[in-house]
A and B are shown apart, each in its own frame.
Chain A
Amino acid sequence: MPSTPCFAPVADHALLVELGETIDDATSDRIVALDRALADDPPPGLREVVPGLVNLLIDFDPCATDHRQIEAAVRNCLAHPPAAGRAGTLREVEVCYDPDLGHDLASVAEQTGLSVDEVIAAHLSGDYRVRMYGFTPGYAYMSGTPEAIQLPRKPAAIRGVAAGSVIIAGPQCIVTTLLMPAGWWVIGRSPTRILTGDLDHPFLFDVGDPVRMRRITRADYDRKVAA
């Protein structure tokens, strides 16, 4: 179990709750559990809870509550953990590993001493879980990239990485949503839309959801993107 959590005030409207020091599954599970507990029983004045990798940010209305009351509500949630943790909803991401779309496949293979097919097989075998969204709309940071294909990020970001790119660095994996610079390794492209366009459920994943990658052919990819 964690030592006592750390609380730090953020300006006049938020509290940062740190539940661990290193990025690991145990810390992440505690964050997801607290996030859900606060969603089930929100203290008065709560505006928003933002899960991070080792902490959560709790944003509140300073006219309705304060840092102290929010801290008390969090301590209460932590003292009464839910009986059974919910597992999240299994989500599927389709990935096309065509070398024209996964520009860095060959480079990842070379650096890891694997064949391109082995890199793809390793990526497909990963047991992914959404740890947080960050940086920009819909960028879901997933843990679970297998050790065999873990690489440090590139020394500098590459401009113009297409939306839908499947990128990896260290144990993390992201399916990008915008044309943006990225310093991670581009190993494929996905037609799966993280920004769903559905107003009732605009983002595919919830934090804590497990994710499975499924391989599709280039023809499938082209057809799905055209649709």
Chain B
Amino acid sequence: MTTARLRVTFAGPHVSYQDGGRPGLLRFGVPESGPMDGLAHAAANLAVGNPADATAIEISPAGLTIECVDGGVTFAVAGGGFVVDHAGTRSGGWEVRTLRPGETLQVQRGHWGSWTYLALAGRIEAAEWLGHTATHTTSGFGGGLLESGGEIVIRDSRISPERERRFPCPVLARAQSTARVVLGPQLHRVQPEAVAALLTGAHTLSDSYDRMGVRLRGPALAIADALSIPSEPIVAGSIQVAGDGVATLLLRDHQTTGGYPKIATVLAADLDRVVQLRPRDRITFQAVGADRAIQIARLHAQRCAAYLGTISTPN
């Protein structure tokens, strides 16, 4: 059994351990957490020969720099277009390489994308909560945030030269500025002109963007009787409208209930790509019916499975 040890020389904010997520506990106030971009997370893991839902490191544009202290380990970076510097070579990620003792790996903000994933061949040691390492950032439960000066330990670490290669970012993992939504469920709580404003107005992501959600900028969305709504369950992708007419798109670490009306909900099939937008990027919303949403979900699942199938086999 081999163990690789890496030192974190720099970790920016919002860099966390995430396995595939902690599903099934919404009824206890626990959102799923897990990767913001689930497809990229799975691709990075599969590329190094890990299970798709293994613990990986989610990196924000604030970046991460690590140094290999002991052992060596094959790694993959996937998600967005980040800048990856390793052993004198610079790339745009979507690549499998091997980190050896004494070498440094630096992942920084690049041309596009808000989240990228560093998968390490083996088993990353991280605290579990309710059987998962996914970090719930509000509570800190789970694997937690990485901190400068800390250590990353990989048990049963592997060096797999046969896996080293590039695997270009597929179209289905690129940032997407059109988010398809099903309107509602509280359509009756908003003014009809609010729906028109959501679907035709110019919206951008604000700087207020973290794993819980992103506040949008755009025309105010008028709501009807906001204060009288009993608190009710929320899912990732909910667009809730506060009393001041400002919309927030709720994401992986969302609060599980809320009393603001939800004007629309982004399809799960589009969420991985929408989160790769950045503050100040434009976003438009396109309404689809429930039946069409199901078709989209099924097609998306097929495409993801087909793509991931090409990643998981070594050269």
Interface residues of A (CB under 8 A from B): 8-14, 16, 22-23, 47-57, 59, 62-63, 66-68, 132-141, 178, 199, 202-203, 207
Which of the four size classes fits the interface of chain B?
Answer: 35 or more
Interface residues of B (CB under 8 A from A): 23-30, 130-131, 136, 138-139, 141, 181-182, 184-187, 230-233, 235, 237-238, 255-258, 262, 265-269, 290-291, 293-294, 296-298, 301
CA distance in complex: A48, B25 (Å): 8
Q: In the assembled complex, which residues on chain A have CB atoms less than 8 Å from the CB atom of B232? A: 16, 52-55, 57
Contact of B27 among A13, A133, A178 (CB under 8 A): A133
Known: A47-B23, A57-B235, A134-B257. A12 touches B182 (CB 8 A): yes
Known: A10-B235, A59-B235. A136 touches B138 (CB 8 A): yes
Q: In the assembled complex, which residues on chain A have CB atoms less than 8 Å from the CB atom of B298? A: 62-63
Most chain B CB neighbours (cut-off 10 Å) among A11, A52, A141, A203: A11
Q: In the assembled complex, which residues on chain A have CB atoms less than 8 Å from the CB atom of B181? A: 11
Q: In the assembled complex, which residues on chain B have CB atoms less than 8 Å from the CB atom of A203? A: 28
Known: A11-B237, A11-B265, A199-B130. A50 touches B256 (CB 8 A): yes
Q: Decide if A11 touches B26 in the complex (CB within 8 Å).
A: no
Q: Decide if A137 touches B184 in the complex (CB within 8 Å).
A: no
Q: Decide if B230 touches A62 in the complex (CB within 8 Å).
A: no
Q: In the assembled complex, which residues on chain B have CB atoms less than 8 Å from the CB atom of A50? A: 26-27, 233, 256
Known: A47-B23, A57-B26. A202 touches B130 (CB 8 A): yes
Known: A66-B291, A66-B294. A134 touches B182 (CB 8 A): no
Q: In the assembled complex, which residues on chain B have CB atoms less than 8 Å from the CB atom of A23? A: 230
CA distance in complex: A56, B30 (Å): 16
CA distance in complex: A88, B131 (Å): 26
Contact of A12 among B28, B256, B297 (CB under 8 A): B297
Contact of A63 among B257, B267, B301 (CB under 8 A): B301
Contact of A133 among B28, B136, B185 (CB under 8 A): B28
Q: Decide if A52 touches B26 in the complex (CB within 8 Å).
A: no
**Residue contacts A-B, CB under 8 angstroms, 9 given:** A10-B235, A11-B235, A11-B237, A47-B23, A48-B27, A57-B233, A62-B268, A132-B27, A137-B29
Closest to A21 in B: B230
